[in-house]
Each structure stands twice: as structure tokens, then as C-alpha cells.
Amino acid sequence: MEEIATNLRDDLTRIGKNYPVTTRVIGYCTVRFLSWFSSDISSVMPLVNRRVNHANTASIEVLGIEYKRTTREMTLASAVSMI
């Protein structure tokens, strides 16, 4: 997740968008402590410190989908559309 934030910050700067993107990582103990007081934070606890790997090989091989943009380009396009 830190890599996504860093890439997004760099890409937004490159296209001239001066939008703050936080790249700070919060520790597990802090999140665990806060989860005792907030049900919203408690609901994301299973996702903390979990390595996420996105692969689209099945959609390419089975469905024959051709992706015209990389994940990094799509993340930037999504972020710009929400700003």
C-alpha cells in the first residue's frame, strides 16, 4: 500500500496536481488499540499487514480481455476523477 501511495503522489505531481497524498504507514499495535473503540477500525483489522497481490492473468487467459492501461495508470485516472 505504501508503494501505491508513493506512485500516486509522484504521478499527481508529474501531471501538475498539487494534492497531498499520505505515504505514512501506521503500526499494527496502534490500529489494534483503536479497534477497541471504533467498530469501523475493527472491521478493517483483518486487512492490516496483509500483503495484497493483484493478478489479472485469469481474465486475460480465460476471458481474453486486453487491458489498454497499466494498474498504475488506472490508479492515477481514478484518483484524478475523484479529486
Alpha carbons within 13 angstroms on the beta-carbon side of residue 76 total 17
The count of domains in the chain is 1
Tell me the pLDDT tens digit for each residue of 2-58.
788 888 889 888 888 888 888 888 788 888 999 999 999 899 888 887 777 777 888
Q: Confirm whether 57 is domain-assigned.
A: yes
Question: Can you give the pLDDT at residue 38?
Answer: 93
Q: Confirm whether 83 is domain-assigned.
A: no
What is d(CA 18, CA 41) in angstroms, rounded to the nearest whole number?
Answer: 29
For residue 69, the one-letter residue type is R
Its domain, for residue 45, covers: 2-78
What is d(CA 3, CA 75) in angstroms, rounded to the nearest whole number?
Answer: 12
What is d(CA 16, CA 36) in angstroms, rounded to the nearest whole number?
Answer: 41
